[in-house]
Homo-oligomer: A and B are copies of this chain.
């Protein structure tokens, strides 16, 4: 998982990108990077760690120019090395170009091999370097045609930002697996800069206004002439990742017209309706489980309590790789409040079970704190299949639900009862999170009249990790390419 941010036409491009990335920090904490353009050349700085640690004021000042793109990264492939940090920036025949990518290409490995056979060299393990090679090798003249040419050869999930000396290009794959939003930020001189981000929370932070989503299959070219929209790809059914709503996106984001917060509350309501249980309290696994738990409480009448307190000095569950601390399991992150739990029948609401080990520790922790019964409720179906579209799930062999029944999982995690939401119930709940769209300006400068075409029904989402229904073909057991080069 990654987050991207871009801005065009603002004198404080680097500073605003820094802030925009900060608001996307939950999407990746391994590395951060910014590339700016002053119209003549690109300026790049990247580093390992949180946005706040990677950039000093001095470095931001050196990132000159009024356009920029930025990236926060959580490793999907290639390991935790600086060279895999994004954006990637290179020189090629038409100048220089930088690329920030959120997603995963399902044919990256094949393209990588073909490119190498044609004489290309690779300095990183990132999909992004494949795309850059394809752009550089395109025989098209215009940068937007080169990008379209390159992307017509790739498959999978991508929400991309490209920065050249003169333009900023945003592209979302035809199915729109990953979100990408367009916004606008007034400048002091009465004009307005264009901004792009994985989630609209970035816009909130810098005071920009959400305009609309970049649509699946759409390419936006932003330059001195304004914004141009193109649709260079064959149309395909929209398949936005449903797990963004369940877990990944920030609750204050609205993606594709659906409020993440409302969707999560609905998931909890559905859990209570379909899998209610006699209980004294319902508690979330914080922070992601809070809205679903509120929905559960509201629907069921079981009082909502904070039975587990979270320490916020660590980071998200599956993101921090500090091995020396890991063996303390969930304890570094969660601590029970015994007075809330002692002698109670407790419902715990969580968003998913991956390997089962964390759930098992949480159940034990709650029981040790005095709970009389522990009922685990999951606001999504069993995670049965790996994601090939950008979420870093383990192999199928490691997914407990791929080889165990719900009852077997219940026994493993030692809960009294365990229930998952059904696929249909999850989809219904998320769809009900749809809220009236904000008033959109009738026309975008330089772009065509927009109709925000909300797809409908369950096919609006990718739910392959739950259903195995993969919208884009992929090599079933893709040999995870072993880098032959390790940059220490």
Binding site for B on A (CB under 8 A): 19, 22-23, 25-26, 40-45, 50-52, 57, 59, 62-63, 89-93, 95-96, 113, 116-117, 119-123, 132-133, 136-138, 165, 201, 204-205, 250-252, 254, 259, 261-262, 287, 290-291, 294, 298, 303-306, 309, 311-315, 322, 324-325, 328, 331-332, 335-340, 435, 482-488
Given A42-B485, A44-B486, A304-B304, A90-B123 contact (CB < 8 Å): yes
Given A122-B90, A205-B331, A96-B485 contact (CB < 8 Å): yes
Docked Cα-Cα span, A22 to B52, in Å, equals 20
Given A90-B123, A306-B290, A313-B52, A484-B96 contact (CB < 8 Å): yes
Q: Is the CB of A259 within 8 A of B337?
A: yes
Give the interface centre of A201, A298, A311 by most chain B CB atoms within 10 Å: A311
Q: How far is the CB of A282 from chain B (nearest CB, A)?
A: 12
In the complex, the count of this chain's copies comes to 4
Partner pick for A25 among B41, B303, B311, CB 8 A cutoff? B311
Docked Cα-Cα span, A402 to B484, in Å, equals 50
Q: Is the CB of B41 within 8 A of A335?
A: no
A-B contact pairs, 26 of them (CB 8 A): A22-B313, A41-B483, A44-B486, A44-B487, A50-B313, A51-B313, A57-B324, A63-B488, A90-B122, A91-B483, A91-B484, A93-B117, A116-B136, A119-B133, A119-B137, A120-B136, A123-B123, A204-B331, A205-B331, A250-B309, A250-B335, A251-B309, A252-B336, A259-B337, A261-B309, A339-B435
Identify the closest chain B residue to A322 (Cβ): B52
Q: Is the CB of A485 within 8 A of B119?
A: no
Give the interface centre of A89, A201, A303 by most chain B CB atoms within 10 Å: A89
Identify the closest chain B residue to A132 (Cβ): B121
Q: How far is the CB of A225 from chain B (nearest CB, A)?
A: 22
Docked Cα-Cα span, A127 to B165, in Å, equals 24
Q: Is the CB of B89 within 8 A of A487?
A: yes
List the B side residues contacting A250 at CB < 8 Å. Answer: 309, 335
Q: How far is the CB of A254 from chain B (nearest CB, A)?
A: 7
Partner pick for A328 among B19, B254, B331, B435, CB 8 A cutoff? B19
Q: Is the CB of A204 within 8 A of B484?
A: no
Docked Cα-Cα span, A23 to B314, in Å, equals 11
Q: Is the CB of B93 within 8 A of A313?
A: no
Docked Cα-Cα span, A93 to B122, in Å, equals 9
Q: Is the CB of A332 within 8 A of B22?
A: yes
Q: Is the CB of B165 within 8 A of A136?
A: no
Docked Cα-Cα span, A63 to B250, in Å, equals 41
User: 9 smallest A-B Cβ distances: which pairs?
Assistant: A119-B137, A93-B116, A90-B121, A252-B309, A312-B312, A96-B484, A96-B485, A45-B488, A91-B122
List the B side residues contacting A486 at CB < 8 Å. Answer: 41-44
List the B side residues contacting A305 at CB < 8 Å. Answer: 294
Q: Is the CB of B485 within 8 A of A252?
A: no
Docked Cα-Cα span, A61 to B338, in Å, equals 34
Q: How far is the CB of A52 from chain B (nearest CB, A)?
A: 7
Q: How far is the CB of A2 from chain B (nearest CB, A)?
A: 16
Docked Cα-Cα span, A116 to B313, in Å, equals 40
Q: How far is the CB of A146 from chain B (nearest CB, A)?
A: 10
Identify the closest chain B residue to A120 (Cβ): B136
Q: How far is the CB of A231 from chain B (nearest CB, A)?
A: 26
Q: Is the CB of B485 within 8 A of A205?
A: no
Identify the closest chain B residue to A123 (Cβ): B90
Partner pick for A311 among B23, B313, B324, B336, CB 8 A cutoff? B23
Q: How far is the CB of A241 from chain B (nearest CB, A)?
A: 20
List the B side residues contacting A201 at CB < 8 Å. Answer: 309, 335
Q: Is the CB of B204 within 8 A of A336?
A: yes
List the B side residues contacting A122 at CB < 8 Å. Answer: 90-92
| Beyond A119-B136, A121-B132, 15 additional pairs, beta carbon < 8 A | A22-B313, A23-B335, A25-B313, A44-B485, A59-B488, A91-B122, A92-B121, A165-B484, A252-B336, A254-B338, A259-B339, A261-B306, A287-B312, A298-B303, A339-B435
Q: Is the CB of B91 within 8 A of A485?
A: yes
Q: How far is the CB of A185 from chain B (nearest CB, A)?
A: 14
List the B side residues contacting A95 at CB < 8 Å. Answer: 484
Given A119-B93, A484-B91, A485-B44, A306-B294 contact (CB < 8 Å): yes
Q: Is the CB of A337 within 8 A of B488?
A: no
Q: Is the CB of A484 within 8 A of B40?
A: yes
Docked Cα-Cα span, A488 to B14, in Å, equals 13
List the B side residues contacting A120 at CB < 8 Å. Answer: 92, 120, 136
List the B side residues contacting A488 at CB < 8 Å. Answer: 43-45, 59, 62-63
